[in-house]
Amino acid sequence: MTSVPLVPDIPAPPVIALRGVGLTYPGPPPVHALRPCDLVVRRGEFVTIIGPSGAGKSTFLNIIGLLDRHTSGTYELDGTDTGPLRDGDRTALRGRRVGFVFQSFHLLPHRTTCENVALALVYRGVGRRERMARAEQALRQVGLGARIHALPTTLSGGERQRVAIARALVGNPSLLLCDEPTGNLDTATADSILELIDELHRSGMTVLVITHDPAVALRGDRTLEIRDGLMTDRVAA
């Protein structure tokens, strides 16, 4: 008699699974901002997306981050088909699964670094004491344990981006989604932020970075290119 395992060995779903996902703005004339594309990003991967201005990078990011709805295909985030979700459920899924890092850090100037990071947990129903403890831990993780009471205005650009990364991490997301994360930083500071992103990836985080900078794109395990709304695998030169 063959034995049936009590707990079947079901592999975890990919973090991102796109099948024929595209977005066309109706116009007139219609704009094919993202042409139908297929993509699978597995847990722990570091994928970079490169393309010139107007290529469709923001459109792609907004779809992946559940900020915009795709107009064709299916998008599963962590095994959840996002197409049928209502706005409130999309917002909740985004809050639990996606940590955003933007070029401009979007910190509240009159709140301490710890409060800025803790704010990301307010809508998760986490009590204040625990929010602050988790924020402090996230700040330590990005090397800012000594600056938890500082105001963002007293920090350097690189430190502000570290706070923004801590805020993205504090909710323990499945995906770190970065839009030109070094766009506002000088080269040396940019390198240290890219090192931090590498380190997070090495510790198991799934990372997607959108950039126009080939040096940043090279950091990924895999680079995709978007041109005129069309996404393709970039073959190393």
How many chain residues interact with ligand ADP (CB under 6 A)?
Answer: 11
Chosen residue from 39, 57, 118, 173 binding ligand ADP by CB under 6 A: 57
Rounded to the nearest whole angstrom, what is the least distance from the CB of residue 9 to ligand ADP in the complex?
40
Q: How far is it, in rounded angstroms, from Cα 113 to Cα 102?
A: 16
As to burial, measured by CB atoms within 10 angstroms (0-12 exposed, 13-18 middle, 19+ buried), residue 119 is: middle
Question: With respect to ligand ADP, which residue has the nearer C-beta, 31 or 151?
Answer: 31
The residue range among 3-11, 25-33, 97-105, 107-115 that interacts with ligand ADP, by the rule CB under 6 A, is: 25-33
CA distances from 21 to 69, 81, 82, 177 (A): 10, 12, 11, 18
Q: How many residues does the chain have?
A: 237
As to burial, measured by CB atoms within 10 angstroms (0-12 exposed, 13-18 middle, 19+ buried), residue 93 is: middle
Residues 6+ apart with CB under 8 A from 111: 119, 151, 152
What number of CA atoms fall less than 13 Å from residue 79's CA on the CB side? 6
Assess 53 for contact with ligand ADP (CB under 6 A).
yes
Assess 48 for contact with ligand ADP (CB under 6 A).
no
Assess 55 for contact with ligand ADP (CB under 6 A).
yes
Assess 181 for contact with ligand ADP (CB under 6 A).
no
What number of CA atoms fall less than 13 Å from residue 61's CA on the CB side? 24
Chosen residue from 25, 38, 215, 221 binding ligand ADP by CB under 6 A: 25
Chosen residue from 16, 50, 59, 65 binding ligand ADP by CB under 6 A: 59
Question: With respect to ligand ADP, which residue has the nearer C-beta, 126 or 226?
Answer: 226
Chosen residue from 12, 20, 38, 54 binding ligand ADP by CB under 6 A: 54
Assess 123 for contact with ligand ADP (CB under 6 A).
no
Assess 70 for contact with ligand ADP (CB under 6 A).
no
Q: Would you say the C-alpha torsion 194, 198, 203, 209 has a positive or negative sign?
A: positive
The residue range among 54-62, 96-104, 118-126, 142-150 that interacts with ligand ADP, by the rule CB under 6 A, is: 54-62
Q: How far is it, in rounded angstroms, from Cα 204 to Cα 21?
A: 26
Q: Which residue ranges make up the site for ligand ADP (CB under 6 A)?
A: 25, 31, 33, 51, 53-59
